[in-house]
Amino acid sequence: KRKRRRTSHDEQILLDSFFRKNHFPNAALRQILSADTGMSARAVQIWFQNRRQAERKKKSK
């Protein structure tokens, strides 16, 4: 089992800025983000899934 990895502050800022523009990045954009952050494309995809879920949860309250 892999150890869980937290996103750094700089990665968080970069991912959040892209999230504000586009909640559903395509594969090409995920690849660019993975290269910029050092995360895998799959980790970027999961990050966006979790962030969308957090948005929905925040709106429902």
Whole-number pLDDT of residue 15: 98
This prediction has a pTM of 0.90
For the segment 35-58, the average pLDDT, to the nearest whole number, is 96
Beta-carbon contacts of 23 under 8 Å, excluding residues fewer than 6 positions away, are: 48, 51, 52, 55
2-11, 22-31, 37-46: range with lowest mean pLDDT: 2-11
Q: In 10-49, which positions are buried (b, 16+ CB within 10 angstroms) versus exposed (e)?
A: ebeeebeebbeeeeebeeebbeebbeebebebebbbebbe
Whole-number pLDDT of residue 1: 79
The more confident residue out of 51 and 61 is: 51
Q: For the chain, which residues make up each domain, given as ranges?
A: 9-60
CATH (one of 1.10.10.60, 3.40.190.10, 2.60.120.1440, 1.10.3720.10) for 9-60: 1.10.10.60
Q: Round the average pLDDT of the chain to a whole number and report it.
A: 95
